[in-house]
Structure 1
Amino acid sequence: MALIQVTEQFVHIPKGKFFVKTWSSAESKGAPIVLLHDSLGCVELWKDFPQRLCETTGRDVIAYDRLGFGKSTARVERPSIRFINEEAEFYFPFIAKELNLTEFVLFGHSVGGAMAVAIAGQFPQATQAVITESAQAFVEQRTIDGITQAKKDFSDPKAFSKLARYHGEKTQWVLDAWTGVWLSSEFLSWNLQTDLQKIKCPVLAIHGENDEYGSAKFPETICQYAGGSSHLFLLENTGHVPHRENPERILKIVSEFL
């Protein structure tokens, strides 16, 4: 097995800086995989998955903390209801330029999956493939119910402190950014249909049957409207975080897809 080298850096932008971590080896081949985290996520919450993904696929793996998360610069204002497309239009281009990413595979978990779709639509020539895991494709009642319950759960100081290990003083902003946007009436009409139709590359949609934030209609919608070829994996006895619940299965599915 090739030795995996891990590097860390900051990418500076007008509003602050992004924390970026890369897993690579001398034997890496093919377009690198860019990981896009979920609404409460960050680089470190991927745990050992990026390294295992690098080892399994033989590709470089890159993960970054969005602005306001993890080790990236804090934010004060709540994200707008266009925050998914703004990641593709404004923020991700800085990452692509600084890291000289002329081609890449996008792997997004939860809202990161929606961002992967939006970025692929923004960079159709550079995007070689899109992998969505537990991605939302529109706002479903199960989504609203799941986020409402999570908001209550994080009012428990123990749950809050666990999240604070990764986001520090940004933790309350991270929670408010998630619940404030997704539970707002203005966001109810959001969907991925237009962005999906811009995609020209293959798409892999992974979803757990027991996902507390969305039904199988999400990956079905992604595959229905994606402009390129699409593949759907609905995993039994699996919730919202398949790469943590069954990492071996996810690594196998992803490596075979690529």
Structure 2
Amino acid sequence: MSLPVTTREHWISSEKGQLFAQDWTPAETVGEPILLLHDSLGCVTLWRDFPQQLARTTGRQVIAYDRLGFGRSDRYPGALPLDFIDDEARRFFPLLQQHFGFERCVVFGHSVGGAMAVACLAQHPQAGVALVTESAQAFVEHQTRDGIRAAEVEFARDGQLERLQKYHGDKAFWVLRAWVDTWLSDDFSDWNLDAELTQVKCPILSLHGEQDEYGSAAHPERFTSVPGVPTMLRLLPDCGHVPHREQQPAVLQAVSEFLQRYLP
């Protein structure tokens, strides 16, 4: 019988605005918490029941938050800077550590959240006990840009922006443009995580759907080619860009096995 999981909502102040966060804490917790970093159009609500199931499966506290400009967090002041991935790690990760009172954690990032997870552990290597990337990008690939262009066309159809407004309110158009304009920018085309990955010192699990429309298997292969650290790569058949929704049992099992193997 699984232990009950308590859910709480939080508001975290930053110099740019308030962040909304939520945690799922089992009645009896083990180990360091798991911090979830969402994708380019995501937010806490769009994780759906995954955080609760992850807390139940691992026995660990799970924490998720809306980045500034997303979900229930405050509006982002201005345009998203091209160094937004490093900025998230530099500016906001320490605020989460302070608010929730953890020194070390498992960082789990979906899509661009996976890149942010790497940046967090590159800038704060002492804070990471393990890294999980899911459908994450390690560099700008033609397939990534092609997928974003296709999504931009789809969002231009009648009623499609309302899908984002359900989760981001009047920030929805900013959320869409922040994603599209950043990743399709010529100035962003040579972005990659090569330098950051060399700074990661903890075990890495990389999950990737074989039918991911935003990136090939070259990304998880790069995440699991970091010298000197143990790594696991799981390619999921018949799975697209959101494994934690499309194949939740497989993701939960992979994360649980990974943590049991590498964390005492």
The normalised TM-score by structure 1 is 0.98
1:125 partner SS: helix
How much has 1:170 moved relative to structure 2? 0.3
**2:262 matched residue in structure 1:** none
Whole-angstrom distance in 2 between the partners of 1:152 and 1:227: 43
Q: Residues of 2 paired with 1:225 and 1:182: CA distance?
A: 25
For 2:249 and 2:227, the matched residues in 1 are separated by 26
Q: CA deviation at 1:124?
A: 1.1
**Residues 1-258 of structure 1 mapped to structure 2, 5 A cutoff:** 1-225=2-226, 228-258=229-259
Contact 1:197 1:227 in 2 (8 A): no
Of stretches 139-148 and 217-226 in structure 1, the one that deviates more from structure 2 is 217-226
Q: Quick one: distance in 2 between partners of 1:6 and 1:247?
A: 20
Amino acid at match of 1:135: A
Contact 2:16 2:77 in 1 (8 A): no
Partners of 1:155 and 1:78 in 2: how far apart? 20
| Structure 1 unmatched ranges of 5 or more | none
C-alpha deviation, 1:79, in angstroms: 1.3
C-alpha offsets along residues 36-56 of structure 1, whole Å, 9 cap, x if unaligned?
Answer: 000000000000000000000
- Residue 187 of structure 1 aligns with an amino acid whose one-letter code is F
Q: Is the 8 A contact 1:37 1:65 kept in 2?
A: yes
Q: What count of residue pairs does the alignment treat as equivalent?
A: 258
Q: What's the % identity of the aligned pairs?
A: 50
Q: In 1, distance between residues paired with 2:159 and 2:129?
A: 41
Q: Which amino acid aligns with 2:117?
A: A
- RMSD of the alignment, in Å? 0.9
**1:199–1:227: 8 Å Cα contact kept in structure 2?**
no
* Alignment partners' CA distance in 1, 2:251 and 2:174: 31
Distance 2:228 2:191 in 1: 19
Which residue identity is paired with 2:185?
Answer: S
- More displaced 10-residue stretch of structure 1: 22-31 or 59-68: 22-31
Task: List structure 1 segments (4+ residues) > 3 angstroms apart after TM superposition.
Answer: none
Q: Distance in 2 between matches of 1:59 and 1:44?
A: 19
Contact 1:2–1:55 at 8 Å: present in 2 too? yes
Contact 2:8 2:24 in 1 (8 A): yes
SS at match of 2:3: coil
Q: What is the identity, as a one-letter code, of the residue corresponding to 1:96?
A: Q
Instruction: Please give the per-residue CA displacement for 1:6-33, whole angstroms capped at 9, x wherever unaligned.
Output: 0001000111111010000221110000
Cα distance in 2 for residues equivalent to 1:79 and 1:102: 28
